[in-house]
Structure 1
Amino acid sequence: MTYILDVTRFILKGAITTFNLYIITAIFCVPLGILLAVFKMSKYSILSKIIGIYTWIFRGTPLLLQLFFVYYALPVIGVSLMPFTAAALTFVLNYSAYLTEIFRAGIESIDRGQFEAAKSLGMNYRQTMTRIIIPQAVRRVIPPTCNEAINLVKDTALVAAIGMGDLLRAAKEVLTRDFSITPFIIAALLYLGISSIIVAIFRRIESRYSIFD
């Protein structure tokens, strides 16, 4: 039991990076995804095409490749970032691209008659989106957004590729040192626990927005 507690404490120290990266990514990618989704649906075709290219690139290439590019390739042109900064920037850009398409699909699923009704009431585009459309769209995008939130937990393990210590790397270090599968079991339980918490949070959010059904 003492060994398990010691290993768990060690792995949790490595998990600090995982938690910090997760929180920062979640804080920035959600509002950025909503903003880009709205802009992509705007009447300005150039802006829409630029955002379309951005989502095409980041959704069409591996996250690990993007991480390598930001951390290893940018210094070639004189842009050097600390490992955590490079990881956070990459994750925000990647997940914002996915959320942009999720939010866009949610917004477009709202009946066009509601846009016309809002217009007849004298609302401008911003008022229509913030007061009428987005609150309804949020309810519809909760399930796919929850999936992305869970994927984010697992994807944070990729930061080990640029030398950062995280939950999984800490478990691997203990396994290499002690030649025991215990650290991987503990890591799996921690990942499952985090994912379960995320699912519970999204269920509460879904219940909160069920008023728009």
Structure 2
Amino acid sequence: MSVAAHFHALAAGRRPADDGLLGNTLLEWGAGEAYGEEAILELFRAAPFAPGDGAVLIESARSVAWVGADAALVADLYDGRIGRLWRLGPGAPPAAEPAVAVAFDPDLQQQRGEVYARADDHPDLAATAIPQVLAVGEALIALLGPAHRARAFLTRAFSADRCTVALFAIHHLSAGAVRTAGYDHALALIDGETVRLIGERAARAPWTPRL
């Protein structure tokens, strides 16, 4: 079956045919994760993915994205099968697992900058699209306003059908005497000079030095 058929089945919480969803797939949505076929299908049954009218499916050899007006689903592909997922948009993301908070400095290597991207990590990204992808990352940082230590990490990026998809993980610290850190995700669909942005703010957990 096609990747589009796999996505349509998954969006409704149905198991894609022909092992279209690999058993060890990891889904990230908001601050939570779902691991494994059964957990992911259960999540989509409880919260079906509905990108709405005007949604587009962009597919390269290694990646695919289904992008709507305010929701997106991005996947890594392995021989046409889904092996990693990111979901953005409305719904009820899985709850974040309890975790011990540890100090983290995105500038530990002293490479100051707002956007971190390495072209070799994205073999399906057209070289001509790289400047626009970096510009979008800078624009996403600007949209945060006066955020502390905001950095955009290019997680996935690929080009196909004259379009480019770029998924960013955006790290920043909250305001206040005791700051909380975390990642938000944002996706850009670039079609010529038109850029469609979809972002989300993940819930922040309080500083937790012990469980």
TM over 0.5: no
Relative to the length of structure 2, the TM-score reads 0.23
Is the radius of gyration larger for structure 1 or structure 2? Answer: 1
TM-score when scaled to structure 1? 0.23
Considering Cα pairs closer than 8 Å and 6+ residues apart, tell me whether 1 or 2 has the greater RCO. 1
